[in-house]
Amino acid sequence: MIKKVDLRGLACPEPVLKAKRLLDDQTVERLDALVDDLVCVNNLKRLARSLKATATCQEQNGSFLVVIDRSLSAATGGDVTGDTATSIDNESHTSAFPADKAATGSGTVVFLSKDTFGQGDPQFSRTLLDLFLQSMLEAGHAPTAILIANTGVKLLAPESPSRHVLKEFQERGCPVLACGLCVEFYGLKEHIHDSQIINMFAIVEYLQEASKVLTP
């Protein structure tokens, strides 16, 4: 997932700390950050190096666009923080940058904050949710992400019938992301891959930026 953020106007060390919080979400592969000055640029390059990601920078109307990319890190290696400004794919950045917004890809986000579809008989409600997810998959809908919190994380338990459905969403390019606190609370940590764990900060960003949130 690519995230964009405008860090201009923030006093040091806020820009680098905010970038770090966004990159704590392992599903963010690339962060495009707009900053005021070279001090921020250099600090973000250090952050990238500490995360073993690449960082490139280019000037943009008096500001600087820093692209931190961790998908390239393993392949390139070596000097990832060279001071030479590298040209990057500019297509998506020439348009006006959303002011102080992290554009987490709009689209539909499915938010499963419990392991049931509505409220009623627990077993029946649970079956309905399995059916909902199965139907969504079969209909070919591809949400931006499926976020799972609270008892919803039980859907990812080994014995859960929905587990393979969610896995299929994932394989189709729709990230299935579970709240770390919840996974820990319900003792499911060992069954869920680290790359699927996100924090509340990321959940807020996803919900905030979605054009539509489905909460069955």
Partner 1 sequence: MSDSSHSGYVKLTDSTKAGGCAAKISSAELEEILRALPTLHSPRLLYGMDNFEDAAVYRITDDVAIIQTIDFFPPVVDDPYLFGRIAAVNALSDVYAMGGKPIIALNVLCFPTCDYPTEVVREILRGGADAVVEAGASMAGGHSIQASVPIYGLSVTGIVHPDRVLTNSGACEGDAIVISKPIGTGIALLGLKGQQLTASSQKQLLDNLTTLNNRSLEAALNYTVHAATDVTGFGLIGHLHEMAHASRLTATLWADCVPLLGQTAELAELGLVPAGAYANRHAYAEHIHYIDKNAEDDPLCDLLFDPQTAGGLLFALEPAAAQALVRQLKDIGLNAALIGQFKSGKAGLVEIALQCREVA
List interacting residues with partner 1 (CB under 8 A). Answer: 11-14, 16-17, 20, 38-39, 42-47, 49-50, 79, 81
Q: At its nearest, how many Å lie between partner 1 and the CB of residue 24?
A: 12
Q: How far is the CB of 9 from partner 1 (least distance, A)?
A: 12
Specify the residue, 65 or 183, whose C-beta has the smaller distance to partner 1: 65
- Judged by CB, which is closer to partner 1: 80, or 148? 80
Give the distance, in angstroms, between the CA of residue 107 and the centroid of all CA atoms in the same chain.
14
13 vs 118 by CB, closer to partner 1: 13
Q: Nearest approach, Cβ of 102 to partner 1 (angstroms)?
A: 19
Please state whether 150 falls in left (phi above 0), alpha (psi between -120 and 50) or beta.
left
In the sheet that 30-35 helps form, which strands lie side by side, from edge to edge? 2-6, 30-35, 63-69, 54-60
Tell me the closest approach of the beta carbon of residue 52 to partner 1, in angstroms.
12
CA angle 145, 161, 188 (to 5 degrees): 70
Compare residues 78 and 140 and give the one whose CB is closer to partner 1. Answer: 78
Listed in sequence order, the residues at least 6 apart from 189 whose beta carbon sits closer than 8 Å to its beta carbon are 183
Residue 45, helix vs strand vs coil: helix
